[in-house]
């Protein structure tokens, strides 16, 4: 990473002999710590590892006031040591100003790739504000694409309840992106339904489209898939019908000589094409087409569709044929 692009260099690599013991009650978390949610179980597991193997890497601090230290890197280790009731923490004390401290704290956490998407977006925004950077400069400094930075920053357009839902793991980043086209009121209403009804990302995208009066993605894809299958069927050359097999049937004539009559038999094992259906709307549209064909053929058919929580309920009613059209069996 090009650290110099943030206004400082990575020239001061701390040496091992700089490790000192700092009382835990003199250490404060970093004000620019991007991580807002700490996994309690993860901290307990880290504490157990430290208890068994010791602290393999000291935390990094800076002294912002006499006998007052701020964490630059290692807040999870700091929390684990507090959980173990340690009195002092092995630490490396660096001389840094507020600007350098904030930038390094943000970069150190971003490098660990353990932040949520919202925390990552907030860290990008803070780095840009602290260093007066454009998205392009930030992307260059972080070693990522500008589009990746832009996509993360878009999450900050979500209202706070949606951002908090992502932070708490109630919804995914993709759920949040699906809500971006909505205004604040729409996001709030849709968030409640996403969480309460446990919608998938696809269901969320479909409901947002319906809310905005736009084409529903699932239905659009289903129509395209139906058209593709119809086009494929129309362009597939029809194979010639199998020739009937001749089977000899023997009868005895009046003079007891065998007379052979050739009888045809058609094979019932006709080959058929299997079509994979990836979307339930395709199956529903296929049923609708079938009902339409039945009606055009002269029978009265009706289909009703009900959307349940995790499935679709389809009911098809076909009227019985008139009695006069039925054949009498002797």
- Catalytic machinery residues: 75
Let me know if 74 is exposed, middle or buried by CB neighbors in 10 A (0-12, 13-18, 19+): buried
Angle at 132 between CA 131 and CA 137, to 5 degrees: 85
Query: What is the chain's percent helix, strand, coil content, to nearest 5?
Result: 50, 15, 35
Please state, as a whole number, how many other Cβ atoms lie within 10 Å of the Cβ of residue 190. Answer: 20
Among 109, 99, 49, 118, which residue's Cα sits nearest to residue 74?
Answer: 109
328 by DSSP, 3-state: which? coil
For residues 145 and 141, what is the distance between their CA atoms, to the nearest angstrom?
Answer: 10
Indicate the DSSP class of residue 279. Answer: S
> What is the rounded CA–CA span in Å between residue 232 and residue 273?
12
Give dist(CA 64, CA 107) in Å, integer: 20
Tokens of 124: 């990008």
DSSP letters spanning 98-167? HHHHHHHHHHHHHHTT-S-HHHHHHHHHHHHHHHT--HHHHHHHHTS-HHHHHHHHHGGGS-HHHHHHHH
First to last CA, the chain: 90
Coil, strand, or helix at residue 87? coil
Provide φ and ψ at 217, rounded to 5°: -55, -45
Token pair 């780095």 is found at 127
H helix and E strand count, the chain: 12, 9
């Amino acid at each position: 990473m090009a650290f110099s692009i943030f206004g400082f260099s990575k020239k001061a690599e701390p040496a091992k002999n700089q490790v000192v013991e700092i009382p835990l009650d003199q250490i404060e978390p970093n004000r620019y710590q991007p991580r807002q949610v700490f996994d309690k179980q993860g901290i307990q597991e880290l504490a157990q590892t430290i208890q068994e193997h010791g602290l393999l890497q000291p935390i990094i601090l800076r002294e912002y006031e006499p006998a007052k230290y701020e964490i630059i890197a290692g807040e999870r280790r700091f929390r684990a040591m507090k959980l173990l009731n340690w009195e002092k923490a092995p630490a490396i004390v660096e001389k840094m100003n507020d600007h350098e401290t904030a930038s390094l704290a943000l970069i150190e956490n971003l490098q660990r790739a353990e932040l949520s998407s919202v925390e990552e977006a907030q860290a990008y925004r803070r780095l840009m504000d602290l260093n007066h950077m454009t998205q392009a400069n930030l992307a260059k400094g972080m070693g990522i694409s500008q589009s990746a930075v832009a996509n993360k920053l878009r999450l900050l357009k979500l209202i706070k309840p949606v951002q908090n839902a992502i932070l708490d793991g109630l919804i995914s980043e993709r759920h949040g992106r699906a809500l971006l086209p909505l205004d604040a009121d729409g996001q709030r209403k849709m968030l409640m339904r996403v969480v309460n009804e446990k919608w998938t990302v696809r269901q969320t995208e479909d409901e947002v489209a319906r809310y905005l009066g736009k084409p529903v993605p699932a239905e659009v894809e289903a129509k395209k898939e139906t058209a593709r299958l119809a086009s494929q069927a129309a362009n597939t050359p029809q194979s010639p019908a199998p020739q009937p097999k001749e089977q000899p049937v023997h009868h005895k004539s009046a003079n007891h000589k065998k007379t052979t009559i050739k009888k045809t038999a058609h094979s019932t094992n006709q080959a058929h094409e299997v079509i994979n259906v990836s979307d339930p709307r395709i199956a529903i549209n296929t049923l609708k087409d079938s009902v339409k064909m039945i009606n055009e053929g002269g029978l009265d058919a009706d289909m009703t569709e009900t959307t349940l929580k995790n499935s679709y309920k389809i009911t098809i009613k076909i009227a019985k044929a008139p009695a006069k059209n039925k054949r009498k069996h002797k």
